[in-house]
Amino acid sequence: MPVKNHVREARQAASLTQEALAAQVGVTRQSIIAIEQGKYGPSVKLALELAAALGVRVEDLFELEGGRERGSR
Amino acid sequence: MSGMRSYYISRIVVAVGFGALFFLGGAPWWQAALVALAVIAWFWWAPRSGRYQVNPELGMTPLRRDERSQGINDTAGRNAFIVVMLVTGATAVYAGLTGSTQVPVRALNWLLILGVVVYYGSDFWLRRRGR
């Protein structure tokens, strides 16, 4: 199931450039671009670091496209 | 790119070494100089390419791959290895079928070139398509 992300929106809300965010989480600018374009699914560790750097919860950054409602089984 | 002096100095030494190897291997001086210039150009481009994390505090080895680049590198290397092995096997089978007892050294050069082409082709494709 594809993963949708809101990294670009969260980054812009935090007034960070792609380069600044990349430096904060220790990856290249290309990786941030690839994540924002949905071309790369980051590791759990990087997803957590992105969430921490952007001041949001990781589940607000990433979600399963057409996924289940939270709490449903 | 401040604080990268030791990186650039060491890479110029490497580039001159490459040029010297070509020259000592029998290439004309201008070809050796071209190789050295190409190597210098690659080392100049690498920290600006956005493919590597640049950590000037690490001195002569400031470039690091992040998790995506490392994954792409691993996949491209695996693709190149598989293709070279398959073609090597096919060459051996062909030589057996045609009764050849010797494979020319030139064929090995082409295999190496094929491996490099597959590696960089995979790298380029994986970066564009996404991974």
Query: A18: domain CATH number?
Result: 1.10.260.40
For residue A71, the distance in angstroms to the closest alpha carbon of chain B comes to: 30
In a domain, A69, yes or no: no
The structure's pTM equals 0.76
Best of B67, B69, B126, B128 to disrupt the A interface (most A CBs within 10 Å) is B67
Range of the domain at A11: 3-64
Cβ-based contacts of B68 with chain A (< 8 Å): 27-28, 30-31, 34, 40, 42
Domain count for chain A, please give it: 1
Q: Is B48 on the interface with A (CB under 8 A)?
A: no
Q: Which of A26, A28, A42 sits opposite B69 (nearest CB)?
A: A28
Q: How far apart are CA B126 and CA A46, in angstroms?
A: 20
In a domain, A72, yes or no: no
Residue A35 contacts by C-beta under 8 Å, 6 or more apart in sequence?
A5, A7, A41, A42, A50
In a domain, A73, yes or no: no
In chain B, what are the domain boundaries?
2-64, 67-129
pLDDT in tens, A39-54: 999 999 999 999 999 9
pLDDT in tens, B30-84: 999 999 999 999 999 999 888 888 888 998 999 999 999 999 999 999 999 999 9
Q: How far apart are CA A9 and CA A62, in angstroms?
A: 12
Cβ-based contacts of B53 with chain A (< 8 Å): 26-28
Q: What does the pLDDT average to over A24-48?
A: 93
pLDDT at A72 exceeding the cut of 60: no
Q: What is the ipTM metric for this complex?
A: 0.77
Q: Which of residues 67-126 of B touch A (CB under 8 A)?
A: 67-69
